[in-house]
């Protein structure tokens, strides 16, 4: 499941980097409360439900299924957390100094979540990055051959 999600993120995850959230076009309250708090609860809730579902079927005493379940959701959760962190950080750029400091302080949670996802699912991130790189290369070659 994790490799399938990594491939899907590699194919379609670049669209998240072109969103209004990533560009910082939302207000601080929309970015922080909407995407950070509420969106984070939804994404982490879905990821936690998946991990719980996988662990409920694990009858062994080993931690292999636990790690596989966490790796399975690491790429989508990590990408969402990173995009949310950057969006909140950029949205706070036009705020007063004390608001900027407070909001950016609390947004570091999303950066640490993304870092933890990379730590636990590094192989899946390599797969997603490889798929993204191949897709970009294929599109570039296709564009060059059409214009030639």
pLDDT along the chain (148 residues), means of 10: 81 86 93 94 92 76 70 89 93 91 92 89 87 86 70
Residue 143: predicted pLDDT: 75
Q: Are 93 and 100 in contact (CB under 8 A)?
A: yes
CA atoms in the 13 A half-sphere facing the CB of 25: 7
Residue 146: predicted pLDDT: 64
Residue 42: predicted pLDDT: 96
Cα 34 to chain centroid, rounded: 16
Q: How many structural domains are present in the chain? A: 1
- Full residue range of the structural domain in which residue 109 is found: 2-147
| Measured distance CA(46)–CA(36) in Å, rounded | 15
């Amino acid at each position: 499941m994790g490799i399938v999600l990594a491939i899907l993120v590699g194919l379609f995850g670049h669209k998240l980097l072109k969103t209004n959230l990533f560009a910082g076009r939302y207000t601080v309250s929309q970015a922080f409360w909407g995407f950070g708090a509420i969106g984070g609860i939804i994404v982490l809730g879905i990821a936690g439900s998946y991990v719980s579902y996988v662990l409920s079927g694990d009858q062994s005493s080993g931690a292999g299924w636990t790690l596989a379940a966490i790796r399975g959701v690491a790429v989508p959760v990590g990408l969402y957390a990173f995009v949310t962190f950057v969006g909140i950080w950029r949205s706070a750029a036009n705020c007063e100094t004390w608001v900027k400091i407070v909001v950016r302080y609390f947004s570091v949670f999303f950066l640490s979540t993304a870092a933890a996802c990379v730590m636990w699912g590094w192989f899946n991130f390599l797969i997603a990055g490889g798929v993204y790189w191949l897709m970009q290369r294929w599109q570039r070659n296709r564009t060059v051959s059409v214009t030639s």
